[in-house]
């Protein structure tokens, strides 16, 4: 039964994602907000199906830590679930993702039209420069910036190589940092077909104000972020 329910969800996901992506594209001429409405609706629809078909519900903890202004979200990366959930977790934002994702029909095109920062991971210096330039512009426009510092998804119980792009951007743009931990990989594993029933908990950790971000050494900031995010992730079972 678990296999059948997972298969049905995966089929719905494959059908609905291009459909909602097309709506994002078609509504983009009417402004960012018009497109963002469909992106958020996609996220809500997918998680509704996850609950109905796979028995997966979500809980969001630490919402009191969200600031009332744009900041840099530094998030754990274990699963596709956190990318799907992001539109219902934080205000309108831009992602920092690998540029190759823009080549995915409809979904990748929608990402590009929403102003996603697509970097070439083979050129770290160029990637950092682009994140600084485009990320700062988005923050100045009031758009949040979401970064997965590990770059790629890590397995449950493991830690990827945390890259300093989010910290560098926050310091250069004089922005705060909001860390995010979760256990999504335990129920929706990376490259995993089976979706296991249970609760995915997204936990926002205490916000680090811009003043504190600017005053601390980058290496110390990265050490703090990695330690806090990984500790919370393990506590959640991720």
Q: Residue 145 belongs to a domain with what CATH number?
A: 3.40.1130.10
User: What are the CA-CA distances from residue 219 to residues 203, 206, 207 (Å)?
Assistant: 24, 19, 18
Residue 122 lies in a domain: yes
Instruction: Enter the DSSP assignment of 208.
Output: B
Average pLDDT for 24-31: 97
What per-residue confidence (pLDDT) applies to 122? 72
Residue 72 lies in a domain: yes
Confidence of residue 124 (pLDDT cuts 50, 70, 90): confident
| Rounded Cα–Cα distance for residues 147 and 149 (Å) | 6
Residue 7 lies in a domain: no
CB-based contacts of 183: which residues, under 8 Å, 6+ apart? 78, 156, 200, 201, 233, 236, 237, 238
Average pLDDT for 198-217: 97
What per-residue confidence (pLDDT) applies to 123? 74
Indicate the pTM of the whole model. 0.94
What range defines the domain where residue 182 resides?
56-235
What per-residue confidence (pLDDT) applies to 151? 87
Residue 121 has pLDDT above 90, yes or no: no
The H or E element spanning position 81 is helix 81-89
What per-residue confidence (pLDDT) applies to 91? 97
- Per-chain mean pLDDT for the chain: 95
Residue 19 lies in a domain: no
Residue 38 lies in a domain: no
How many other CB atoms are found less than 10 A from the CB of residue 179? 25
Residue 177 lies in a domain: yes
Residue 6 lies in a domain: no
Total structural domains within the chain:
1
pLDDT tens digits, 171-202: 999 999 999 999 999 999 988 899 999 999 99
Residue 205 lies in a domain: yes
């Amino acid at each position: 039964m678990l296999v059948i329910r997972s298969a049905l969800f995966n089929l719905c996901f494959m059908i609905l994602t291009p459909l909602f992506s097309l709506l994002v594209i078609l509504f983009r001429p009417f402004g960012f907000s018009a497109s963002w409405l469909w992106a958020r609706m996609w996220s809500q629809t997918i998680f509704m199906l996850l609950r109905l078909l796979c028995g997966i519900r979500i809980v969001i903890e630490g919402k009191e830590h969200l600031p009332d202004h744009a900041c840099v979200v530094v998030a754990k990366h274990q699963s596709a679930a956190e990318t799907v959930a992001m539109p219902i977790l934080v205000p309108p934002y831009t992602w920092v993702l690998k540029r190759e994702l823009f080549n995915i029909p409809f979904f990748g095109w929608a990402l590009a039209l929403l102003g996603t920062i697509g970097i070439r991971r083979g050129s770290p210096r160029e990637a950092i420069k682009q994140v600084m330039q485009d990320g700062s512009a988005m923050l100045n426009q009031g758009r949040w910036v979401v970064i997965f510092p590990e770059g790629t998804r890590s397995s449950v119980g493991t830690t990827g190589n945390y890259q300093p792009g989010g910290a560098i951007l926050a310091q250069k743009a004089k922005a705060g940092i909001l860390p995010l931990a979760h256990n999504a990989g335990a129920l929706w594993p990376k490259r995993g077909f089976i979706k296991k029933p249970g609760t995915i908990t997204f936990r926002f950790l205490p916000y680090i104000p811009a003043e504190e971000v600017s005053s601390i050494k980058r290496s110390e900031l990265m050490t703090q972020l990695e330690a806090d995010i990984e500790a919370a992730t393990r506590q959640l079972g991720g």
